[in-house]
């Protein structure tokens, strides 16, 4: 154990020594262009990018966290970079933690972030850490910078372009249910099946498959809150075109479909990090699907872009939050 004491820390920033012991030991992958990184007293990072020029950035607290939040934080931020055809490089992290979480909890979160960053080649460049008794659950936030070789614009999408989706729908939502509310699943899933779904959290990154899509894709999108249909509507809104979906082709895992039937939710509106939506010219779709298959990624054409959008799109709908609030099953 690396902690000096087990006392509940007071509200406020961690001491410099506590930062060194529990936070700054985990700074991700080493990158030579990171000139000023995470250190006590540094409010911003300085990066030489491109050569001869410098980039400066910092982070402030915004959002909330739960189990495995450190790993998911990196993956979700990385997915946003990947959706633009980029490679994630520099992450600023903010942790606002309840005092009861303790230094051990802070170190656990940062260790998760560190380990995921090493896998993806991301440097933790700085951030902000404090204990705050106004919160009863951890609050974390990531600000991630990456590099890209081209710009993807939704305005480049044309009628007839095909919609491709990777893996299967509702990956993140189902993994959260299996982790936080397994009681909801036990009446129709075995413990082995629940464990399988829980492990879907390891599939929430889309960085790897994005590299096989970005050369051909006109646009890519990471469908998070609002699920697959929320992501489709966002593409339609940005492009000004309707989406003509082949609902029979949508990749819904049998366990997701079973849970949807038993719990009464729409899997197309279940938070869907782990799948990547891509808009690809029809002439290039076959080669893209073959490349993904050879790399070990499931993918399928689920529709095409249609005519000019003339109707107002529905407001986003997310099923997960309602499910998490359902009465507990003994």
| 211-254 per-position pLDDT tens digit | 999 999 998 998 888 899 988 988 888 889 999 999 999 999 99
Sheet holding 45-48, edge to edge: 34-36, 45-48, 54-57
HSE-up of residue 316 (Cα within 13 Å, Cβ side): 18
Task: Say what the pLDDT of residue 204 is.
Answer: 92
Looking up tokens 């896998």, which residue turns up? 119
Question: What is the b/e burial string over 163-185, where b = at least 16 CB atoms within 10 angstroms of the residue's CB?
Answer: bbbbbbbbbbbbbbbbbebbebb
Q: Report the share of the chain in percent with pLDDT over 70.
A: 88
Give residue-wise pLDDT tens across range 64-99. Answer: 445 788 998 899 888 888 888 888 899 989 888 999
Distance CA 280, CA 161 (A): 6
154-324: CATH superfamily: PurM-like C-terminal domain (3.90.650.10)
Domain edges within the chain: 12-148, 154-324
pLDDT, residue 62, reads: 31
Residue 325 has pLDDT above 90, yes or no: no
The domain covering 12-148 belongs, at the CATH homologous superfamily level, to PurM-like, N-terminal domain (3.30.1330.10)
- Cα gap 154→231, rounded to integer Å: 13
pTM, to two decimals: 0.81
Asked if residue 171 has pLDDT above 60, the reply is yes
């Amino acid at each position: 154990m690396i902690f000096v004491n087990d006392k509940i820390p007071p509200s406020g920033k961690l001491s410099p020594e506590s930062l060194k012991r529990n936070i700054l030991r985990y700074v991700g992958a080493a990158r030579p262009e990171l000139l000023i990184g995470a250190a006590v007293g540094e409010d911003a990072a300085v990066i030489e990018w491109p050569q001869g020029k410098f980039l400066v950035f910092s982070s402030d607290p915004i959002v909330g966290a739960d189990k495995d939040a450190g790993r998911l934080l990196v993956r979700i931020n990385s997915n946003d970079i990947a959706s633009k055809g980029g490679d994630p490089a520099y992450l600023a992290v903010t942790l606002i933690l309840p005092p009861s979480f303790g230094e051990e909890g802070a170190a656990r979160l940062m260790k998760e972030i560190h380990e995921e960053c090493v896998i993806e080649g991301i440097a933790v460049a700085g951030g902000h850490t404090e204990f705050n008794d106004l919160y009863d659950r951890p609050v974390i936030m990531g600000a991630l910078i990456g590099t890209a070789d081209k710009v993807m614009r939704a305005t480049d999408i044309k009628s007839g372009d095909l919609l491709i989706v990777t893996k299967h729908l509702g990956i993140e939502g189902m993994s959260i249910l299996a982790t936080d509310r397994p009681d909801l699943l036990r009446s129709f899933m075995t413990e082995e099946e629940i464990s399988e779904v829980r492990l879907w959290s390891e599939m929430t990154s889309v960085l790897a498959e994005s590299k096989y899509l970005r050369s051909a894709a006109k646009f890519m999108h990471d469908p998070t809150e609002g699920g697959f249909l929320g992501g489709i509507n966002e593409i339609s809104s940005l492009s000004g075109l309707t989406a003509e979906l082949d609902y029979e082709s949508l990749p819904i895992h049998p366990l997701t479909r079973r849970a949807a039937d038993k719990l009464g939710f729409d899997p197309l509106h279940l938070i869907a990090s782990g799948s990547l939506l891509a808009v690809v010219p029809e002439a290039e779709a076959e080669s893209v699907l073959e490349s993904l298959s050879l790399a070990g990624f499931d993918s399928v054409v689920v529709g095409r872009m249609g005519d000019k959008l003339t109707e107002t799109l529905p407001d986003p709908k997310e099923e997960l939050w309602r499910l998490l609030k359902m009465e507990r099953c003994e």
